[in-house]
Amino acid sequence: MRLVDLVRMLSLAGIWGASFLFMRIIAPVLGTIPTAFFRVSIAATGLVVILALMRVRWDFGGKLKVILILGVINSGVPATLYSVAAQVLPAGYSSIFNATTPLMGVLIGGMFFSEKLTLTKMAGVFLGLLGVGVLTRAGPVAFNMDLLMGALACLLATTFYGFAGFLARRWLDQQGGLDPRLSALGSMLGATLFLLPLFGLSVMNQPPVSWGGMSVWLSLLGLGLVCTAFAYILYFRLLTSIGPVKSMTVTFMIPPFGVLWGALFLGEPLSMAHLYGGLLIAVALWLVLKPAARQAA
């Protein structure tokens, strides 16, 4: 892997780690659907402005329909599920559960997309899950139904991420690649169109008790513009550069950032389980990313 791709992965991990901090601030106030809708709609608006300033030509090469569908799978549904989790889980915990994305990617790739499942790759994935388990069971949050429901929402989100990574490569690489900035914009537009009617029904039937104050809306801007709009440009660039499985291993790097931001800004408690689990996840990341040994000719 090139140095520039490693820098992109670390930057993306830090940014996406902050997204769990912002959702933890927003979701308990606005609720599930408003949080998800504002996240993707603000991101779509930001991308429109960014692409206009960069003078990017809006040429989707006949792929707009599939990109909109991909946006529902990769953005709309996961944003909703993580908004559910943010109402019951600390930011650090949601970021930890998010680390199961490479497991889903490896398993889905082997089952549906003819990806080779090597022993090293599988060992790395399960070691990463062990690290997640250590952080979950030995961490400072009580193991109860709220934790289980939040974890289930996160695991469903990572399942959608796993499928989306491979579908993006299959659909967007046909007849040549697509500008990752357009891929990000199309993804956010698809997610916004998907969530718009749900948002309308949510507001009519059960509007938020409060629309929040300055901290909530600043967090929404950070979540939408930085953690979603800018982050998805980085993510789609990684997809085209290093492929879906290696791109999804960025989620192994997110938990340390998610835990750190939660501890610094929300006062979430830390324990030695964070260190032990983090070390296991770091080893798992190395196993999944290391190149396969070449056989002698």
Tens of pLDDT along 24-72?
A: 999 999 999 999 999 999 999 999 998 898 888 888 878 888 899 999 9
Residue range 220-245: mean pLDDT, rounded:
84
User: Of 139-143, 200-204, 257-261, 288-292, which one has max mean pLDDT?
Assistant: 200-204
Q: Which residue has the higher pLDDT, 222 or 130?
A: 222
Check residue 208 and give its pLDDT.
87
Give the pLDDT of residue 192. Answer: 97
Residue partners of 179: CB distance under 8 A and separation at least 6: 56
Cα separations in angstroms, 291 against 60, 223, 238, 279, 288: 33, 34, 17, 20, 8
The number of folded domains in the chain is: 1
Per-residue pLDDT averaged across 145-168, rounded?
A: 86
Give the model's pLDDT for residue 218: 95
Domain assignment present for 67: yes
pLDDT of the residue at 250: 79
Domain that holds residue 130: 3-289
Residue 296 — pLDDT band, cuts 50, 70, 90?
Answer: very low
pLDDT at residue 295, as a whole number: 43
Question: Has residue 293 got a pLDDT over 70?
Answer: no
pTM: 0.84
Average pLDDT of the segment spanning 148-169: 86
In a domain, 221, yes or no: yes
- pLDDT at position 297 is 38
With respect to residue 84, please indicate whether it lies within any of the assigned structural domains.
yes
> For residue 21, what pLDDT is reported?
94
Burial class (CB in 10 A: 0-12, 13-18, 19+), 44: buried
Q: By percentage, how much of the chain surpasses pLDDT 90?
A: 33
Query: Residues of the chain with pLDDT > 70: what percent?
Result: 91
The pLDDT of residue 289 is 64
156 belongs to a structural domain: yes
Check if the beta carbon of residue 52 is closer than 8 Å to that of residue 135.
Answer: no
Three-state SS string over the chain comes to: CCHHHHHHHHHHHHHHHHHHHHHHHHHHHHCHHHHHHHHHHHHHHHHHHHHHHCCCCCCCCCCHHHHHHHHHHHHHHHHHHHHHHHCCCCHHHHHHHHHHHHHHHHHHHHHHCCCCCCHHHHHHHHHHHHHHHHHHHHCCCCCCHHHHHHHHHHHHHHHHHHHHHHHHHHHHCCCCCCCHHHHHHHHHHHHHHHHHHHHHHHHHHCCCCCCCCHHHHHHHHHHHHHHHHHHHHHHHHHHHHHCHHHHHHHHHCHHHHHHHHHHHHHCCCCCHHHHHHHHHHHHHHHHHHCCCCCCCC
Chain-centroid distance of CA 221 in Å reads 17
pLDDT at 233: 81
